[in-house]
Amino acid sequence: MLQIVPGGVTAAPGFTAAGLHCGIRRNQAKPDLALVLADRDCAAAAVYTTNRVQAAPIAVTRAHLADGRGRAILANSGCANACAPGGLENARRVCAAAAAVLGLRETDIIVNSTGVIGVPLPVEAIESALPALADALSRAGGADAALAIMTTDTRPKEAAVTTEIDGRTVTVGGMAKGSGMIHPNMATMLAFLTTDCAIAPGPLRAALADSARRTYNRVSVDGDTSTNDMTAILASGAAGHPPIESPDDPRFALFKEALDAVNLTLARAIARDGEGATRLVVCRVRGAGSETDAEVLAKAVITSSLVKTALFGADANWGRVLCALGYAGAPLRPESVDVAFSSTAGRVVVCRGGEGLPFDETLAKEILSQSEVTLEVDCGAGAHGAEAYGCDLSYDYVRINGDYRT
């Protein structure tokens, strides 16, 4: 049985973290460099952006994780090190510096960056800060690390749960950042996960890839897939149970359940914290012919600019939902579709069989004015369903991105 626990990326025993300001960002009160360290060699895996334009740290981390092992995560905010002069050299250089300070191999380091594209990475600032960052490592340092990877985020994003495998308590924890340029096609933004589960690299990769598909890949804030997107995990095996060697092992499902719970919490937090957003929007599709169809339909609704702006105004313009379903590309019989809006303020059915119903506009506005709103869609065509997570589109999104660089 899963239990929510505090601690985020350092919830699992044997992991420490730290975050501090090294000088990349102008705001000296904002941490901009994060480090996570395991006390032993770990199985490691990652999923990466599918954008053809990829930041240098993606290539470096991909090479480092080729053997399925890792030990530490180093990430900075304020500079993406994407399309930047000397990008690969600089990514390798900070890995070498971190390895020297920590007494590790360069290939033990998972590295990533987030921030402005096209700007050279301030390598010297990172190198100078690494000794102090290493000295600050602690079990309590996860909160500082979560702050250090934020860009336009308004709040840190952390989650952790425990489960039981072979009578041993197993912990999965993580932290994420993401607010804008969020439209995943793997995992999106940055998410760093840790666990003391004993699991081989192969099944760990399988678990992460499928979990990302069902969580981060169902989030969209603005339809832009970043150059730096990465989700990475370190699994230390410190829980002490016999290792999970295959996805066919019954214990794999127990680990996967815990991993999914953490990733879903982080994914929803990203959608809730979308740039300029005032509410989390969930589209719940059921009655589809397949899970894939349901996912495609749900994502079409939460990415529709017209749906998003209607939700910002708490306008029950349900026709925009039906329109988005119609161009999603998945099989759909409009004459079988029902639509309802729900939140903590209640529930109202606005469409049945593809046609509008009379409904209380005042109640609908109250429902759509809450901090979390669910758009319920029943396709009436099968037994499958899926959810997607987004946010409304406000004036502030344009304000934030109109002067993001300057």
Q: Which residues are known catalytic residues?
A: 188
Residue count of the chain: 406
Beta carbons within 8 Å of 190's beta carbon, 6+ residues apart: 75, 112, 114, 149, 176, 177, 178, 228, 229, 230, 231
Q: Which two tokens stand for residue 74?
A: 């180093």
Beta carbons within 8 Å of 188's beta carbon, 6+ residues apart: 49, 178, 182, 216, 217, 219, 225, 226, 229, 270
- Tell me, rounded to whole angstroms, the distance of Cα 14 from its chain centroid: 23
Pairing of strands 230-235, 346-352: unpaired
C-alpha to C-alpha distance for 7 and 346, rounded to whole angstroms = 34
Q: Tell me the sheet residues that pair with 109.
A: 72
